[in-house]
Amino acid sequence: MGKIAVIRLRGSINTKKEIRDTFKLLGLKRVNSLIIVDSEDKSKMGMIKKVKDFVTWGELSEETENLIKEKKGADKKVYRLSPARGGIKGIKRNWPKGSIGYRGEKINDLIKKML
């Protein structure tokens, strides 16, 4: 029972209404916003799979979670991050050649670059 961090990397220009609605339900209204989801929540995991071409996600470590809450506030549901220092790879290709999709434990490195 871990936690999953989900970061939106692409905008919603020329996307289907279904995808835009899913972003609203998740709370990811802007690029570079982050949510933390329980990995046991099947409905949220289904939504993440639906928007998989627009977000990156992976297992969140406890250390990184504490760092997020310390810098961005513990009571929020959605966290606004800065663009990654050093940039990211392309937003049209899947991890590891690009930045989109499931990246496992490596999500913690990206979050630290964006705080």
CATH number at residue 88: 3.30.1390.20
Do the Cβ atoms of 103 and 95 come closer than 8 Å? yes
Name the DSSP class of 37: E
Its pTM stands at 0.91
pLDDT digit string, tens, across residues 93-108: 777 888 899 998 999 9
pLDDT at 90: 75
* Number of domains the chain is built from: 1
Q: In what order do the strands lie in the sheet with 101-102?
A: 78-80, 33-38, 3-8, 55-59, 101-102
Coil, strand or helix at 17? helix
Report H helices in the chain: 17-26, 42-50, 62-72, 107-114
Position 9: which residue type?
A: L
Q: What is the mean pLDDT of the chain?
A: 90
Q: Which domain holds residue 84?
A: 3-114
Confidence bin at 1 (pLDDT 50/70/90): low
pLDDT over 70 at 30, yes or no: yes
